[in-house]
């Protein structure tokens, strides 16, 4: 009884949360600094945020050693978390680079924009390194609430309002499912620690057939699949992606999606390993559905931002294929693919940021007519990103899809891989159509001057380099992704 009340701060170990801690410190400092910056000037804030991300990257890279555990089993900064952290940092950094001029142009130079991105990234890091349901859940909430705000930040634009409100209401609803699932699993196993849940279920196989366990697994899956944007929980994605500020759409489609996937992987493989038969058959169906729904509806879109939203749904489907495989190649393929997707998608959105005009105009297919000749640099960059999104060899998209489908084939899911490849073929149509408009159509009218802002151009260049590096020499990064696995 006495030892119950002995309060020892055992295992606090700040090293295990160092990256997210640094991000939070920078975020809070930036909130204060914003007060002293002149109104309407967000450039200094963006620089401080970028410095914060670089400092964090140093700490995140140092996490690539022996795994650090801390906070009574709540976090583990292992290689799996560190690799994911790098993905989040890239997506946040590229987003911040392309944001500054965009905010000025649209007339919403809000300083709090950058701290919110930093907090969202910290939330993503807690999801990736969390080994307890509570930590993962709270990380998810920090991430989501920041995103609700960022999506609805352009208060004068109806679409942005719609995006913020829709995302908030549906997101809050899906969170309810997740919490209910966590509660049921807690009721079954008596713990919220993911590894302990796995151990308990292993030592009590009778509990696996328990309807409460299965219901818990299903509810947790609903919560995460919503955040990933997988069908049939994808309904929010197009409206939110179209309505949100373009850089935020770019951010949402890469970092947070990767965070949800990574946390989902950890919970399913570490905690609910015993139910693998159940969740693979569920995810098999959903992966096919997600790929197909995303690709088929994308064919109809005339607004490029909305088209990329649907394409992002189908890419979530490809990533789920790796989770169905649940083997070494498949899961490390997910990590690789999310990194590749970060580069190609954020790059495409950076082009959209530069090509758009005030009020989100000029993002339709017609608006891109003749774009390739009028703006050679942006045209070539956009083509590279589209080719990578299609999954053509020599680009990152091909390497990513290759590893994921290889994982599926190795695990014996030949049909799943076949359907995935067929889906990629379907996606050729709507990606190529953008290129056809860019190079083979006459512009209807002169759409004025496109200023090449430094920040967005830098993010485009980084993305191009990333796409080709991962596409031409994927071996090294893939090896790192394989080392990152925790199983």
Interface positions with other proteins (CB under 8 A): 1, 4-5, 7-10, 12, 17, 24, 28, 31, 70-72, 74-75, 108-110, 112, 115-116, 119, 122-123, 126, 132, 134-135, 138-139, 141-142, 145-146, 148-149, 152-153, 155, 164, 184, 187-190, 200, 204, 207, 210-215
Minimum Å gap between C-beta 24 and other proteins is 6
User: Between residues 176 and 393, which has the closer beta carbon with respect to other proteins?
Assistant: 176
Phi, psi torsion values for 188, nearest 5 degrees: -75, -45
How far apart are alpha carbons 182 and 458 in whole angstroms?
A: 42
Q: Tokens for 53?
A: 């991300």
User: Between residues 12 and 472, which has the closer beta carbon with respect to other proteins?
Assistant: 12
Minimum Å gap between C-beta 108 and other proteins is 6
How many other C-beta atoms are found inside a 10 Å radius of the C-beta of residue 8? 7
Name the residue among 53, 3, 57 with its Cα closest to residue 30: 53
Alpha-helical segments (H) within 268-413: 276-299, 304-325, 328-355, 371-374, 376-390, 396-410
User: Between residues 132 and 360, which has the closer beta carbon with respect to other proteins?
Assistant: 132
Question: How many CA atoms within 13 Å lie on the side-chain side of 162?
Answer: 11
**What is the sign, positive or negative, of the torsion defined by CA atoms of 395, 396, 401, 407?**
positive
User: Between residues 207 and 458, which has the closer beta carbon with respect to other proteins?
Assistant: 207
**Chain center to CA of 137:** 16
Specify the DSSP class assigned to residue 207: G
* 3-class secondary-structure state, position 369: coil
Minimum Å gap between C-beta 32 and other proteins is 12
Minimum Å gap between C-beta 105 and other proteins is 14
**What is the sign, positive or negative, of the torsion defined by CA atoms of 453, 455, 458, 459?**
negative
Minimum Å gap between C-beta 112 and other proteins is 5
User: Between residues 207 and 428, which has the closer beta carbon with respect to other proteins?
Assistant: 207
Q: Which residues pair with 357 in a beta bridge?
A: 361
Minimum Å gap between C-beta 123 and other proteins is 8
How far apart are alpha carbons 153 and 160 in whole angstroms?
A: 7
User: Between residues 100 and 132, which has the closer beta carbon with respect to other proteins?
Assistant: 132
User: Between residues 49 and 384, which has the closer beta carbon with respect to other proteins?
Assistant: 49
Q: Tokens for 175?
A: 């969170």
How far apart are alpha carbons 272 and 210 in whole angstroms?
A: 13
Whether residue 162 is preceded by a cis peptide bond, meaning omega within 30 degrees of 0, is no
Minimum Å gap between C-beta 292 and other proteins is 24
Q: Tokens for 69?
A: 């555990």
What SS3 string covers 94-138?
Answer: HHHHHHHHHHHHHCCCCCCHHHHHHHHHHHHHHHHHECEHHHHHH
Let me know: does 151 contact 160? Beta carbons within 8 Å: yes
Minimum Å gap between C-beta 423 and other proteins is 30
Q: Tokens for 148?
A: 């609700």
Let me know: does 171 contact 256? Beta carbons within 8 Å: no
Q: Tokens for 433?
A: 């159509």
User: Between residues 150 and 382, which has the closer beta carbon with respect to other proteins?
Assistant: 150
Minimum Å gap between C-beta 232 and other proteins is 14
User: Between residues 28 and 483, which has the closer beta carbon with respect to other proteins?
Assistant: 28
Minimum Å gap between C-beta 388 and other proteins is 33
User: Between residues 187 and 393, which has the closer beta carbon with respect to other proteins?
Assistant: 187
């Amino acid at each position: 009884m006495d030892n119950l009340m002995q309060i020892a701060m055992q295992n606090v170990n700040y090293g295990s949360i160092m990256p997210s801690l640094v991000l939070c410190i920078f975020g809070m400092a930036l909130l204060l600094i914003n007060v002293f910056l002149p109104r309407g000037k967000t450039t200094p804030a963006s620089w401080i945020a970028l410095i914060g991300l670089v400092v964090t990257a140093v700490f995140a890279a140092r996490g690539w050693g022996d795994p650090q555990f801390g906070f009574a089993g709540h976090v583990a900064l292992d290689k799996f978390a560190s690799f994911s952290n790098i993905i989040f940092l890239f997506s946040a950094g590229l987003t911040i680079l392309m944001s500054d001029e965009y905010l000025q142009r649209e007339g919403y130079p809000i300083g709090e924009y950058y701290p919110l991105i930093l907090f969202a990234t910290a939330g993503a890091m807690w999801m990736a390194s969390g080994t307890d349901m509570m930590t993962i859940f709270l990380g998810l909430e920090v991430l989501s609430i920041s995103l609700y705000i960022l999506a609805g930040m352009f208060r004068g634009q109806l679409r942005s309002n719609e995006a913020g409100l829709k995302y908030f209401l549906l997101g809050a609803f899906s969170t309810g499912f997740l919490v209910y699932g966590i509660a049921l699993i807690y009721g079954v196993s008596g713990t919220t620690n993911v590894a302990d849940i796995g151990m308990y279920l292993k030592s009590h196989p009778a509990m696996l057939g328990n309807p409460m366990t299965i219901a818990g697994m299903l509810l947790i899956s609903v919560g995460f699949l919503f955040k990933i944007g997988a069908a049939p929980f994808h309904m929010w994605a197009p409206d939110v992606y179209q309505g949100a500020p373009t850089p935020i759409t770019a951010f949402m489609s890469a970092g947070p999606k990767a965070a949800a996937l990574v946390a989902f992987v950890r919970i399913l493989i570490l905690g609910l390993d015993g139910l693998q038969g159940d969740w693979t058959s569920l995810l098999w169906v959903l992966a096919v559905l997600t790929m197909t729904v995303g690709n088929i509806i994308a064919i109809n879109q005339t607004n490029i931002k909305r088209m990329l939203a649907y394409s992002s749904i189908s890419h979530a489907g490809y990533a789920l294929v790796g989770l169905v495989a649940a083997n070494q190649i498949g899961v490390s393929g997910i990590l690789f693919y999310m990194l590749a997707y970060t580069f190609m998608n954020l790059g495409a959105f950076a082009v959209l940021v530069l090509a758009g005009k005030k009020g989100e105009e000029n993002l339709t297919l017609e608006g891109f007519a003749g774009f390739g000749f009028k703006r050679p640099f942006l045209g070539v960059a956009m083509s590279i990103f589209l080719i990578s999104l299609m999954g053509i060899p020599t680009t990152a998209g091909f390497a990513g899809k290759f590893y994921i489908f290889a994982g599926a084939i190795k695990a014996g899911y030949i049909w799943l891989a076949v359907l995935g490849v067929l889906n990629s073929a379907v996606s050729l149509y709507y990606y190529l159509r953008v290129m056809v408009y860019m190079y083979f159509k006459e512009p209807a009218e002169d759409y004025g001057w496109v200023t090449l802002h430094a920040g967005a151009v830098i993010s485009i260049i980084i993305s191009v380099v990333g796409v080709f590096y991962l596409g031409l020499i994927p071996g090294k990064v893939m090896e790192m992704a394989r080392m990152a696995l925790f199983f």
